[in-house]
Amino acid sequence: MNLLKKGSKKLTNAWAFYDWANSVYTLTIASTIFPIFYGTLFLNRSENVAVFGFEIKNTALISFVTAFTFLIVAFISPILSGVADYIGNKKMFMKFFCYMGSIGCFGLYFFNLEDIYWSLFSYFLGLLGYWGSLVFYNSYLPDIAFPEQQDSVSAKGFSLGYIGSVILLIINLIMVMSVEGAQAVEMMRYSFVMVGMWWLLFSQYTFKILPKGASKGHKITREVLFKGFNELNLVKKALNSNLKLKSYLWAFFVYSMAVQTIMLVATYFGEQEIEWGGEQEKTLGLIVSILMIQIVAIFGSLLTSYASNKFGNITTLIGINVIWMLICVYGYFVTTPLEFYITASVVGFVMGGIQSLSRSTYSKFLPPTEDTTSYFSFFDVAEKIGIVIGMLIYGTIDQITGSMRNSILFLFVFFAIGIYLLTKVPKSDRGNAE
């Protein structure tokens, strides 16, 4: 039986350590090695893929599959969170998605265009496993930390994630850059397996320490399966009497749509739109860029936590969104490696900060309740639907115009709207998040 008290250092550290375990997925697969690997599959051949009865541009295909995955996450997370709350076992579901994601990473070793449906299914499993586990991971934050701890604990999680993922990426970089041609591609495949193993093994410490939740002895019935949707409806109604939370959620929905889209497609943009000079230079340049983002993000996350204490969460979020807005404009004109490095360093500075602060701000705005899973499920559904919209818009513009630059520039609009909505969060109601 877990007797650790809420707010204890061991408990909060164990929670944060899951970021160390799972962040290797977002860095190696979502952000770095896989986009480069995916690009190598189209060397000396058309950029279009014949799939689902259509000829689809390769980057647009990934955007659409990603959007579909997030649509699935948005649909199933209320069901699963409702079940988890009913039977009192968040950890069981967090484990399930963690292991699913790991299996997806192993499956990516066999990714090829000849077996495109199996390949996309492995990509789908990894993405679904990662984001599905986050539904339950994020909902633990108000359970394991007090409001005054949540900014720093959330930032610690992201910082651990950046450090751990950078370590593995450096190992992968050495593997890939030590050989050339087909051997380099094979090393990329091995890196996917290493991500699956890292995620699987390091998550065990978190699972050992985190409480599973109060066992309620309930069995799953047909009615329980849709309990989560009923709870989301109750949360939606409760927002009408919680103006600060409602206003903040609208702002988060809009700006997160753009942030997550940029983070998911950044390396594909660099792979296609930047003039690297050669394949070896491209591989090295992209990995160095992502490493730069992660290292800068460590300091950005910690600095954001400091800024939120000094200026307030909402004011800090407005400032970060302004920087993101400028990134979109500058990114449209980026063509050289140096310009891409500059963009990457600025993205790193605001990437970790906006994620960490968004999560902890939401946690602070929650009303006193034991049903944190339902509120965080609502938060995650809003985020996932935003990503679906963002990726569909991005992929459609890319498919129609043939350029990812136009898609990046369009995201400027979402940051501008997000800033406007953040200014509408009532100042008198911001409390300790002001």
Whole-Å CA distances, 373 to 96, 292, 335, 369: 16, 34, 44, 10
State how far the Cα of 128 lies from the Cα of 109, in Å rounded to an integer: 17
The closest of 127, 105, 130 to 196, measured between CA atoms, is 105
Q: How far apart are CA 66 and CA 71, in angstroms?
A: 9
- For residue 240, give the amino acid letter: N
- Every domain of the chain and the residues it spans: 9-213+224-433
Classified by CATH at the fold level, domain 9-213+224-433 comes out as: Growth Hormone; Chain: A; (1.20.1250)
DSSP state of 33: H
Contact 320, 258 (CB under 8 A): no
Q: What DSSP string describes 75-95?
A: HHHHHHHHHHHHHT-HHHHHH
- In angstroms, how far is the first alpha carbon of the chain from the final one? 38
Structure tokens at 221: 């019935």
The whole-number mean pLDDT for each consecutive block of 10 residues of the chain, a chain of 434 residues, reads 74 91 89 87 82 85 89 81 68 91 96 92 94 82 80 81 87 88 92 96 93 60 66 78 84 90 83 82 84 80 84 91 92 90 88 81 76 73 86 87 83 92 75 50
Q: What is the pLDDT of residue 216?
A: 53
Adjacent-strand bridge partners of 71: none
Per-residue model confidence as pLDDT tens digits over 367-405: 776 566 677 778 878 888 888 888 888 888 888 887 788
CA 338 and chain centroid, separation: 26
* Pairing assessment for the beta strands 54-57 and 48-51 based on DSSP bridges: antiparallel
DSSP 368: S
pLDDT tens track for 197-224: 999 999 999 999 988 765 455 566 666 6
Counting beta carbons within 10 angstroms of the beta carbon of residue 222, is it exposed (0 to 12), middle (13 to 18) or buried (19 or more)?
Answer: exposed
